[in-house]
Structure 1
Amino acid sequence: MGQFDNFEVCDHPFATFVRSNSKILIIGTFPTHQRNYKHTFKFYYAGVGNMFWPVLAKVYNHRFQFDKGDKAVEERQLFIE
């Protein structure tokens, strides 16, 4: 039995979100565990300790208005368009 025989394959919970004019692809690993969504939002890089969105906000001198729920998702989708 090999060292990788006991790994579980997980389906990603989010739909692919790639714009047709995209020039950069950022690849992450696993999404935030579902139990943490009540503290954040259901979208990529939403973990409480994940610095992805704060770093982008700093780099682009942007302030996100929402940190939780559907409004936070919509805001980030618009931001990356």
Structure 2
Amino acid sequence: MLETHPFKNFVPRNVKYLLLGSFTSKTVTTDSNYDWYYCSSRNQFWPIIEEVYDIRLATTAAKKKFLRNLGIGVADIIRQCERSAGNSLDANLTGIVYNPRLRTILTRKPISKIFFTSRFVEKLYRKVFGDLVEELTSIELMTLPSPSPRYATMTRSEKVERYKQLLPYL
């Protein structure tokens, strides 16, 4: 079954950085608390961010305000897809339709860095938007350790330390 991304791109007026993920978790359709990016109870993104910045972000409004203060936008590279195995693994996403607004965001907004949430997303970006990689050389491309609990190469503490090194200061 073809799924369409349930969330709009989050691009604050003062955007300088773009956090780019793949696609929402399958949980978005079954978990009533999953109301925005990275809100699956298994995803470590927001707990990592809370630790990096020593802040509590209990609501979607608080998360948006926090990102706005840092000039960080959030989007996923995939707009529509199917799940071949019925789970949230990126490797099982098929029939992919890419986010058509990304090109506009990157060419019309003063983005200085893109933070990919995984190597998978970075590879897709380079494949699909290779012309922008060549054209927009002033945009720095950085890959964060995946916030997925399945990415067990690093502990959560190690991920926190790496995020501290890469993300902008508050």
Query: Greater relative contact order (Cα 8 A, min sep 6): structure 1 or 2?
Result: 2
Show the counterpart of 1:46. 39
Q: Offset of 1:20 from its aligned partner?
A: 2.3
The reply on whether 1:20 has 2:7 as its aligned counterpart is no
Equivalent residue in structure 2 for 1:10, among 3, 17, 20: 3
**After superposition, what is the alpha-carbon deviation per residue over 1:42-69, rounded to whole angstroms, capped at 9, x for unaligned?**
10011111111111111111012x3xxx
- Normalized per residue, which structure has more strand? 2
**Change beyond 3 A, Cα 1:9–1:41:** closer
- Normalized per residue, which structure has more helix? 2
Partners in 2 of 1:45 and 1:80 — Cα distance?
A: 13
> Which consecutive unaligned segments of at least 5 residues does structure 1 have?
1-7, 67-71
**After superposition, what is the alpha-carbon deviation per residue over 1:4-31, rounded to whole angstroms, capped at 9, x for unaligned?**
xxxx653211112111221111111121
Show the counterpart of 1:63. 56
Structure 1 stretches of 4+ with a deviation exceeding 6 A read none
Comparing 42-51 with 13-22, greater Cα deviation is found at: 13-22
Comparing 24-33 with 43-52, greater Cα deviation is found at: 24-33
How high is the sequence identity, in percent, across the aligned residues? Answer: 30
Partners in 1 of 2:11 and 2:34 — Cα distance?
A: 18
TM-score between the two structures when normalised by the length of structure 1: 0.68
Partners in 2 of 1:41 and 1:47 — Cα distance?
A: 6
